[in-house]
Amino acid sequence: MTNSDTPAVQITDLGKTYPGAAEPALSGVSLSVLPGEIVVLLGLSGSGKSTLLRHVNGLETPSEGDIVSLGESVNALRGQALRALRGRIGFIFQQFELVGAVTVLENVLTGGLATLRGPRVGILSYPRALREKALGHLDRVGLLDFAYKRADTLSGGQQQRVAIARALMQDPEILLADEPVASLDPESSGQVMALIREIAAERSLTVICSLHQVDLALSWGDRIVGLRAGKVVLDTHTEGLSREEVMEIYGRVATTTSEIAALEDELAEAREQVLSREMQRSATRERLAEDFANEEPA
């Protein structure tokens, strides 16, 4: 466990430019996350949320800057040392990333693979203790009854809860979640977000979760870090924010502006459709009127 004064994650001047990209995906990002903090990375699509999360566990190599996760300098690690660090950091994805054709239990068990040697096929190839642990996590996420069902028969919300159970198999100290509810309906989203918070509290996890919805970020996170075009434009605790400060957050990540733009596009399209229908109708009316006018009186 990490000392509570030492950050769980310390990012200093992180810059990332993907090969061939004209603009950096991240530039000058510095961020310190304390153990047990629940942080939302808030930003529009393309603002750099996934890129930032993927640097925390060494899935990306920075172009500039340093990342220290759980006291380890991520960029310096290779091979077994990097795998060991990744084992302490759970990751949840937008698209769940389960193996659809195998059982829910087996999906959860794969989360414990780092502790085993060699590939495993079938539930019985896992040690009994791991199977019991996996069933315990499935019970915790409310899906014990689904253990022997094929993963692809579950709803999206259930699949994401399976992915949470799978991440718990590593006994992670940090949980990274990349837009974990972007593919879910509002009800399942609420359940999954609540579950992440409960589990984080039970296990004193540090959580960094990316989201693109300001409302959800405000109601869920203790702290919001806003990204825009690869830069940190906001870093604030959510408790006691005034209405003005909330509006400021909307403005900074430009959510409202872009949503309005998208809505306007839709409206313009709808208007065009109505207009063209209107024109067709008036053309029809004219033709009808002409036909009537040309008709011989009875």
In whole angstroms, what is the distance from residue 11 CA to residue 14 CA?
A: 7
50 in contact with ligand ADP (CB under 6 A): yes
Sole binder of ligand ADP in the list 27, 47, 206, 238 (CB under 6 A): 47
CA 188 to chain centroid:
14
CB count in 10 Å sphere of residue 14: 26
Closer of 50 and 158 to Mg ion (Cβ): 50
Least gap, CB of 11 to ligand ADP (angstroms): 14
The binder of 43, among ligand ADP, Mg ion, none, by C-beta within 5 to 8 A per type, is ligand ADP
Read off φ and ψ for residue 153, nearest 5 degrees: -90, -5
107 in contact with Mg ion (CB under 5 A): no
Closer of 112 and 226 to ligand ADP (Cβ): 226
Sole binder of Mg ion in the list 10, 27, 47, 50 (CB under 5 A): 50
The binder of 226, among Mg ion, ligand ADP, none, by C-beta within 5 to 8 A per type, is none
Closer of 58 and 111 to ligand ADP (Cβ): 58
Using CA of residue 123, residue 128, residue 133, residue 136, what is the dihedral sign?
positive
Sole binder of ligand ADP in the list 14, 37, 39, 48 (CB under 6 A): 48
Q: Partners of 103 in the beta sheet? A: 150
Using CA of residue 171, residue 175, residue 179, residue 184, what is the dihedral sign?
positive
Q: Which helix (H) or strand (E) holds 206?
A: strand 206-211
Sole binder of ligand ADP in the list 4, 6, 13, 18 (CB under 6 A): 18
The binder of 21, among Mg ion, ligand ADP, none, by C-beta within 5 to 8 A per type, is ligand ADP
Using CA of residue 91, residue 77, residue 17, residue 19, what is the dihedral sign?
negative
Closer of 49 and 252 to Mg ion (Cβ): 49
| Spatial contact of 144 and 138, defined as CB atoms under 8 Å apart | yes
Q: Which helix (H) or strand (E) holds 279?
A: helix 255-294
Closer of 49 and 161 to Mg ion (Cβ): 49
Closer of 165 and 181 to ligand ADP (Cβ): 181
* Vertex 198: Cα angle to 105 and 96 (nearest 5): 40
| Spatial contact of 191 and 106, defined as CB atoms under 8 Å apart | no
User: Which of 152, 259, 254, 167 has the alpha carbon at shortest distance from 209?
Assistant: 167
CA 77 to chain centroid:
25
49 in contact with ligand ADP (CB under 6 A): yes
Per-residue binding string, ligand ADP, 250-289, x by CB under 6 A, is: ----------------------------------------
Sole binder of ligand ADP in the list 1, 3, 5, 21 (CB under 6 A): 21
46 in contact with ligand ADP (CB under 6 A): yes
Closer of 137 and 212 to ligand ADP (Cβ): 212
| Spatial contact of 201 and 179, defined as CB atoms under 8 Å apart | no
47 in contact with Mg ion (CB under 5 A): no
Interaction site with ligand ADP (CB under 6 A)? 18, 21, 25, 43, 45-51
Interaction site with Mg ion (CB under 5 A)? 49-50
